[in-house]
Amino acid sequence: MSTKILIIGACGQIGTELTQKLRSIYGVENVIASDIRKLNVDVVNNGPFEVVNALDFNQIEHLVELYQIDEVYLMAALLSATAEKNPAFAWDLNMNSLFHVLNLAKAGKIKKIFWPSSIAVFGSTTPKENTPQYTIMEPSTVYGISKQAGERWCEYYHTIFGVDVRSVRYPGLISWSSPPGGGTTDYAVDIFHKALSDGTYDCFLSSETKMPMMYMDDAIQATINIMQAEADNIKIRSSYNLAAMSFTPAELAAEIRSQLPDFTITYTPDFRQKIANSWPASIDDHEARADWDWKHTYDLASMTKDMLAHLKGI
């Protein structure tokens, strides 16, 4: 019997590529994409798509029952920089959408949930280098607070109700296929577009702001790997640290310059600098590598080469 999957937030930065990858694995008809509006043409036109409000429990329950859904990937969220402009809505969306799917799983209507956390759960008091899995977590953003709370609820629903919920703490994600989505790490996406279109980029972070990053291909693979792993191998039910590479805007610019010698960069830090300063510089993810055999593929050089190759071809 085929696994039936519902992706909520399928038109977002991660959702678009995750939907396509899952459809290639499980079959187009078995992966139902959904979002609050029809945004991405490929996701909407290349398989089942439903308009759904992640805050509406009845709509989600209806889709779960209609398609006899086994697994839900809850990708709907308001990201860090955007959430700071609308804290109440960000909290509502990020928390209540999670409660909806957790409660459906508690009721036996969903077998498995993927819910993404983030390095935003950490704060300025967290050790910045090789941030461990278990450490001080005092997030200073609405996004980070909601993700930290979500981690606790995921663990609670697993421990008390046996809900099979799985999660990773994404670092900054870099993708050629979708535009920046309002996150603090999104400079590392925008810089490639501007390098090709303008030959220059004005960065909203300082040159030496080092943050953990990951190419989208690796993030998608990690997401699928943790969901396909045997339940007994998932030892952490809050959220796993996940890492691939760490770099500064200056290091990224230098790598781009190796491909585009005339590229220039300037720096005009804005309110996102304070957010970035509260986050780790590098992540220790040995638990994910040990428990479910996580491995990353892309480093700074190979990611830069692949990004530019794809964007030049668009």
Q: How confident is the model at residue 314 (pLDDT cuts 50, 70, 90)?
A: low
In what helix (H) or strand (E) does residue 86 lie, and over which residues does it extend? Answer: none
Distance between CA atoms of residues 206 and 213, nearest Å: 16
Task: State residue 79's pLDDT score.
Answer: 78
Helical spans, DSSP H, in 120-161: 142-161
Summary mean pLDDT of the chain: 95
pTM of the model: 0.94
Q: How confident is the model at residue 178 (pLDDT cuts 50, 70, 90)?
A: confident
φ, ψ of residue 24 to 5 degrees: the values are -70, -25
User: Which positions are annotated as active-site residues?
Assistant: 143
Mean pLDDT of 7-21: 93
Which percentage of the chain shows pLDDT scores above 70? 99
pLDDT tens-digit readout, 73-124 = 999 998 778 888 999 999 999 999 999 999 999 999 999 999 999 999 999 9
How do strand 5-8 and strand 172-174 relate by DSSP bridges?
A: unpaired
Mean pLDDT of 238-264: 98
Do the Cβ atoms of 18 and 73 come closer than 8 Å?
Answer: yes
Its sign, for the CA torsion 12, 16, 21, 23, is positive
Which percentage of the chain shows pLDDT scores above 90? 88
Distance between CA atoms of residues 77 and 69, nearest Å: 21
Task: List the single range of 130-134, 187-191, 210-214, 274-278 with lowest mean pLDDT.
Answer: 274-278
Task: State residue 180's pLDDT score.
Answer: 73
Q: Which residues contact 225 (CB under 8 A, 6 or more apart)?
A: 292, 293, 294
Whose tokens are 């900054």? That residue is 172
Q: How confident is the model at residue 216 (pLDDT cuts 50, 70, 90)?
A: very high
The strand order across the sheet containing 112-114 reads 49-51, 31-35, 5-8, 71-74, 112-114, 165-166
Mean pLDDT of 206-233: 98
CA distances in angstroms from 271 to 86, 150, 183, 200, 274, listed in the order given: 15, 25, 12, 21, 6
Q: How confident is the model at residue 183 (pLDDT cuts 50, 70, 90)?
A: confident
Mean pLDDT of 177-190: 83
- Centroid of chain to Cα 40: 17
Distance between CA atoms of residues 228 and 236, nearest Å: 15
Please tell me the number of Cα atoms within 13 Å of 90 on its side-chain side: 19
Q: Calculate the dihedral angle through the C-alpha atoms of 84, 88, 93, 98, rounding to the nearest 10 degrees.
A: 100
Q: How many residues are recorded in the chain?
A: 314
Task: List the single range of 32-36, 39-43, 90-94, 248-252 with lowest mean pLDDT.
Answer: 39-43
pLDDT tens-digit readout, 264-294 = 999 999 999 998 998 899 999 999 999 999 9
Burial label for 199, CB within 10 Å (0-12, 13-18, 19+), is exposed
Task: State residue 35's pLDDT score.
Answer: 96
Instruction: Work out the angle at residue 146's Cα, subtended by the Cα atoms of residues 178 and 33, and round it to the nearest 5 degrees.
Output: 40
